[in-house]
Amino acid sequence: MIFVCNLGNMRILKSVTFWHKSTVYLLMNLAVSDICVATFTTSAIFSCITGEYISLFACKIQAFLGGTSVTVSLITLMLISVDRYIIIAHPLRHRSLMSNKAIAFMTVLSWTVPVLLYLWVFWEDILGTQYNPHSFLCSADLTKHAPFVIVLVAVIFLPANVTIIYCYGTIFCIANRHSSNIQSQQAKLNLNKTNPKRNCKAAGMFIVVFGMFNVCWVPYVILVIYRVSHPMEQGPHWVNFIIPWMAMSNSFVNIFIYFILNAQYRTAVKRLFRCHGRTHSPPEGYTMESNF
């Protein structure tokens, strides 16, 4: 279900026209990482239904896909925040700073770093994997490798969160400072082609996406840190089940956030189902407005 929804999500993103190309490409990268999470959870669901354990190699694949895709998601959210920041703070430099080549490089880098980090799960003496019988999920064996956890938190998790908070904080400061001036100038010049609050509202939607990511994943990070510092304590069974699956559920909620908070995204979804695979041209004079 997650796999199908995210494939549909990528199709719909192509039809949404008010986002910049750079934003759409980054959102598609986020959708791809969510598809990987869906693939990662499939074997866990199979194990839950059948009661059979997956093989060690399949467990390693699951741990590799899960760790890599989640890290890609966080890095991509950070890149989206930087993209929105440049649009607001340096609009004249956005096309040069976020060119197609730059986006391609960032996308490749967002996958290369996590892949290099989580390749070590295939070597038991370096990182290895662990199977959680309560959640039926395999993951990197972080509890016995404190240096790896420190690297993930200090090099990726915290810097990404600080960058996102800084970018969106700056966006809203700039928007609040200049919104009234822009509106008055547009009223005097009778300009109606740009909504000065649109980018700010789009940033607000991405803040919700970022906030939901942390709601789902911060408890898991705290649980991992706790297990590293208390290796002999396993905790209640319900905690070992709910917290990992709450983290996995993050890959499913983004499309609903887009649908709820963005009017043009809702329109694109309705058109996709209404057309049912057929291409229709909009009526003459019809324009899609990006009201949130």
pLDDT of residue 291: 39
pLDDT in tens, the chain (292 residues): 555 555 555 655 555 555 678 888 888 888 888 778 777 666 666 665 665 667 788 888 888 888 898 899 889 989 988 998 998 888 888 888 999 899 999 999 999 999 998 988 888 777 778 877 777 777 888 777 778 888 888 889 899 989 988 988 888 888 777 665 655 665 555 544 445 455 566 667 778 888 888 888 888 888 888 888 877 777 777 888 888 888 877 777 777 777 787 776 677 667 766 665 554 444 444 343 433 3
Host H or E run for residue 21 = helix 21-50
pLDDT of residue 282: 46
pLDDT of residue 116: 92
pLDDT of residue 189: 54
DSSP letter for each residue of 188-246: HHT--S--TTHHHHHHHHHHHHHHHHHHHHHHHHHHHHHHHH-TT----HHHHHHHHHH
Cα 145 to its chain centre, rounded Å, is: 26
Return the residue matching tokens 């997650």: 2
What span, in angstroms and rounded, lies between the C-alpha atoms of 224 and 152? 11
Are residues 210 and 81 in contact, defined by beta-carbon separation less than 8 angstroms?
A: yes
pTM, two decimals, is 0.76
Tokens of 235: 């905790």
What span, in angstroms and rounded, lies between the C-alpha atoms of 62 and 64? 5
Are residues 153 and 225 in contact, defined by beta-carbon separation less than 8 angstroms?
A: yes
Are residues 63 and 118 in contact, defined by beta-carbon separation less than 8 angstroms?
A: yes
Which domains does the chain possess? 2-275 (1.20.1070.10)
Residue 82: DSSP 8-state:
H
